[in-house]
């Protein structure tokens, strides 16, 4: 009998309406979420739902540090390799598919793990966001696209900062697509983009587990990861994508790492310059990730990454499952 099955046995009929338990593993890029999540999912008969927006796209493996096929053979992963690089997944689509995956996992008597560093994706699930249903406005979007080409991504993002600082703080200044979408919603509705993501009914009983490392150690791991990416064929991966006909202007190919390698392949910068820019953008990304999940947040159990971290978290999850199953307040 699995750890999860043991925790679920003995439930009364009234208990069947309680919220689905959901283990959430969060933290900055390169902190070690993948390794920890796989070990814990193995111990609790779990399955992993990726909340990392970089992992959706096929053929983008090395530059996203995607879990290997060997990793995925150990534990079933969901929402990885679900789209081509030119099929952009937005927040609403992710939320819909993540809910479906979590329910399928639970109905299979497995424990769902939500794992990732894309803060708004994680928050949208655990807080039950109601995403604003503003239809795309092709004419307005074209105007904003032309404006972005004229003034550049940074200036476009600064305009968003004036209109909606909270939304701007959650969007990478180089992510033109998301910046334009936020401006499009603001200009269409006359309301701030950040104010339109209201909380809905929570479907889950989440256990939030935050992983952290000293910033110097984290930056060293990032640098080492980037070196491994280059050595493992990152440049060849980007060339294959371009040779397959994908435009270098796609949001996926202007993302951290891919945009710099594209610039190198096109001869606009040297490889050393590309690597330096990737390191710089990744560190900036880490700082933005920290804005989504604060280390003083009382709802998050934070763990410094050490040798015995998995064992400590395993005890916490086991106790939490037992307490959750006995707690009548979990009923809907």
160: region left, alpha or beta (phi > 0 left; psi from -120 to 50 alpha): alpha
| One pLDDT digit (tens) per residue for the chain, 332 residues | 444 444 444 433 334 446 899 999 999 999 999 999 999 999 999 999 999 999 999 999 999 999 999 999 999 999 999 999 999 888 889 999 999 999 999 999 999 999 998 888 999 999 998 876 677 788 888 888 888 888 888 888 998 989 988 888 878 787 787 888 889 888 888 888 776 665 556 789 999 999 999 999 999 999 999 999 999 999 999 999 999 999 999 999 999 999 999 999 999 999 999 999 999 999 999 988 888 888 889 999 999 998 889 999 999 999 999 887 644 333 33
Q: Is 288 found in the same domain as 273?
A: yes
CB atoms within 10 A of CB 73: 10
**Are 258 and 304 in a shared domain?**
yes
> Would you say residue 82 lies in a domain?
yes
Report the distance separating Cα 199 and Cα 204, nearest Å.
13
Are 224 and 92 members of one domain? yes
What Cα–Cα distance (Å) separates residue 188 from each residue in 44, 71, 134?
A: 46, 44, 8
Looking at the fold, whether 240 and 316 belong to one and the same domain comes out as yes
Neighbours of 312 (CB within 10 A): 13
210 and 101 fall within a common domain: yes
319 in the same domain as 232: yes
Kindly state whether residues 58 and 122 are assigned to the same domain: yes
CA distance 106 to 205: 12
The token duo for 73 is 């053979």
Structure tokens at 268: 């606009």
Q: Tell me: do 213 and 127 sit in the same domain.
A: yes
The rounded radius of gyration (Å) of the Cα atoms in the chain is: 21
Domain shared by 107 and 52, yes or no? yes
Q: In this structure, are 101 and 211 located in the same domain?
A: yes
Q: Are residues 262 and 296 in the same domain?
A: yes
In terms of domains, do 59 and 166 share one? Answer: no
User: CATH no. for residue 167?
Assistant: 1.10.20.140
Q: Is there a domain that residue 13 lies in?
A: no
Q: 228 pairs with which residues across the strands?
A: none
CA pair distance 230, 24, nearest whole angstrom: 30
Q: Which domain holds residue 230?
A: 3-7+18-131+198-330
Query: Of 309, 325, 232, 224, which is closest to residue 37 (Cα–Cα)?
Result: 309
Q: CATH number for the domain including 54? A: 3.40.50.300
């Amino acid at each position: 009998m699995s750890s999860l099955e043991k925790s679920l046995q003995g439930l009364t009929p009234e208990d069947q309406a309680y919220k689905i338990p959901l283990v959430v593993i969060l933290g900055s890029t390169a902190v070690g979420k993948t390794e920890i999540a796989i070990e814990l999912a193995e111990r609790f008969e779990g399955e992993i739902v990726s909340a990392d927006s970089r992992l959706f796209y096929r053929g983008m493996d090395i530059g996203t540090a995607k879990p290997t096929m060997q990793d995925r053979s150990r534990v079933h992963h969901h929402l990885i390799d679900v789209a081509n690089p030119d099929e952009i997944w937005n927040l609403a689509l992710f939320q819909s598919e993540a809910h479906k995956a979590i329910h399928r996992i639970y109905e299979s008597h497995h424990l769902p793990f939500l794992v990732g560093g894309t803060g708004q994706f994680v928050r949208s699930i655990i807080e039950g966001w109601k995403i604003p249903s503003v239809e795309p406005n092709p004419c307005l979007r074209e105007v904003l696209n032309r404006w972005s080409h004229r003034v550049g991504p940074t200036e476009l993002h600064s305009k968003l900062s004036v209109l909606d600082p909270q939304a701007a703080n959650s969007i990478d200044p180089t992510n033109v697509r998301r910046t334009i979408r936020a401006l499009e919603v603001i200009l269409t509705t006359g309301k701030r983009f950040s104010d339109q993501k209201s909380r809905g009914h929570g479907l889950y009983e989440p256990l939030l587990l935050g992983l952290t490392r000293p910033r110097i150690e984290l930056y060293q791991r990032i640098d080492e990861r980037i070196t491994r990416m280059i050595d493992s064929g990152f440049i060849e991966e980007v060339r294959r994508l371009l040779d397959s006909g994908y435009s270098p202007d796609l949001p996926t190919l202007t993302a951290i790492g891919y945009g710099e390698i594209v610039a190198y392949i096109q001869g606009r910068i040297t490889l050393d310059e590309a690597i330096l820019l990737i390191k710089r953008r990744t560190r900036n990304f880490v700082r933005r990730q920290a804005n989504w999940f604060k280390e003083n947040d009382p709802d998050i159990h934070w763990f410094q990454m050490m040798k015995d971290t998995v064992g400590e978290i395993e005890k916490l999850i086991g106790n939490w499952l037992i307490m959750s199953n006995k707690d009548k307040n979990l009923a809907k």
